[in-house]
């Protein structure tokens, strides 16, 4: 399954990343590296710090301390690196409701610095790949949540980023679309794109990820490879971590 370029320098490197949010520690002392072509699944219960971590990696949120390196360069010093290197699908795929699907892709392409010709080609290819052509002229505000999710994914993929950051990408997708999404993620990894995706669905991790990191209360509690036939072991490990500090009633359940 893996297309990891093991000897290649990491696309993403986090060093002791920390961030407080709403008066509590959301992420603490988080360090990891992601080489090109690897799919890393970020697992954790709600509030574990997954979305905060991804928002910091995407450049939408500044860490309180620590360092983020993209292709060896300091991302916090050079936030403009996000423009070309990162594609981000945030949780709930926010859209500009008054823009059509095509206009969304055009706007994202321009924001990411694509030239007109390259943008047209990338737009058409992405619309086709994500089967969005029938929706091309629809206003984003009229799309269903699943369609918005696909549009968000299209925007993240449009400029062929070196790092794809996906926050709960399978949210609101039907089973057919979930299969398409998994194939797409593997396709991106095979092309050398590093992918980091957050989820709390364990099947998602064993289906597409090469490696899994489990966050709990903002800290990295597990980081290791994933085998497709290893679902039970991963589940056991996840629940061990997730139940740390839980009430006896939660343990019994």
Partner 1 sequence: MSFLAMFRLELRRLRVQALAWVPLALSLAWLGWCFTRLLGDFLAGEIQRAALPDGPGYVDLVAVPLLGQLAQLAFLVVPLLAMSTLAGERRNGTLPLLFAAGLPASRIVLGKYAVLLLWLLAWLLLTLAMPLSLAHATTPDWGKLAAATLGIALMLAALAALAVAASAFTAHPAIAAAVALLLGLALWTVNLGAQMAGIDDGAINWLAMSTHEQNLLRGLVSTADILWFVLLIAVCLALATRRLAADKERG
Binding site for partner 1 (CB under 8 A): 19, 21, 52, 55, 58-62, 79-83, 86, 88, 90, 92, 94-99, 103, 107-108, 110-113, 155
Q: How far is the CB of 233 from partner 1 (least distance, A)?
A: 35
- CA 145 → CA 107, 150, 169, 172, distances in Å? 20, 9, 11, 6
Q: How far is the CB of 62 from partner 1 (least distance, A)?
A: 5
Q: How far is the CB of 252 from partner 1 (least distance, A)?
A: 36
Please say which residue, 115 or 249, places its beta carbon nearer to partner 1.
115
Q: How far is the CB of 1 from partner 1 (least distance, A)?
A: 28
- CA 233 → CA 81, 201, 244, distances in Å? 38, 14, 17
Measured distance CA(20)–CA(66) in Å, rounded: 12
Please say which residue, 103 or 235, places its beta carbon nearer to partner 1.
103
Where is 31: in which H helix or E strand?
strand 24-34
Please say which residue, 2 or 100, places its beta carbon nearer to partner 1.
100
Please say which residue, 98 or 229, places its beta carbon nearer to partner 1.
98
Are the C-beta atoms of residues 62 and 76 closer than 8 Å to each other? yes
Measured distance CA(145)–CA(22) in Å, rounded: 27
In angstroms, how far is CA 224 from the centroid of its own chain?
18
Please say which residue, 105 or 242, places its beta carbon nearer to partner 1.
105
Q: How far is the CB of 75 from partner 1 (least distance, A)?
A: 10
């Amino acid at each position: 399954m893996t297309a990891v370029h093991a000897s290649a320098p990491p696309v993403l490197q986090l060093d002791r990343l920390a961030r407080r949010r709403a008066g509590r520690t959301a992420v603490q002392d988080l360090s990891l590296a992601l080489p090109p072509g690897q799919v890393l699944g970020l697992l954790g219960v709600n509030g574990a710090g997954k979305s905060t971590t991804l928002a910091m990696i995407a450049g939408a949120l500044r860490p309180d301390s620590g360092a983020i390196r993209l292709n060896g360069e300091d991302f916090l010093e050079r936030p403009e690196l996000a423009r070309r290197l990162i594609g981000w699908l945030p949780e709930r795929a926010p859209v500009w409701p008054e823009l059509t699907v095509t206009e969304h892709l055009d706007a994202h392409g321009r924001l990411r610095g694509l030239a007109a010709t390259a943008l047209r080609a990338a737009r058409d290819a992405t619309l086709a790949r994500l089967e969005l052509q029938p929706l091309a002229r629809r206003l984003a505000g009229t799309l269903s949540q699943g369609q918005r999710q696909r549009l968000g994914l299209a925007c993240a993929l449009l400029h062929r980023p070196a790092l794809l950051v996906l926050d709960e990408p399978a949210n609101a997708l039907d089973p057919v679309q979930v299969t398409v999404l998994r194939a797409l993620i593997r396709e991106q990894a095979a092309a050398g794109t590093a992918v980091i995706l957050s989820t709390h669905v364990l099947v998602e991790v064993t289906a597409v990820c090469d490696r899994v990191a489990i966050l709990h209360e903002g800290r990295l509690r597990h980081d290791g490879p994933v085998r497709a036939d290893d679902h039970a072991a991963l589940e056991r490990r996840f629940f061990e971590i997730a139940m740390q500090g839980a009430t006896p009633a939660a343990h019994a359940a």
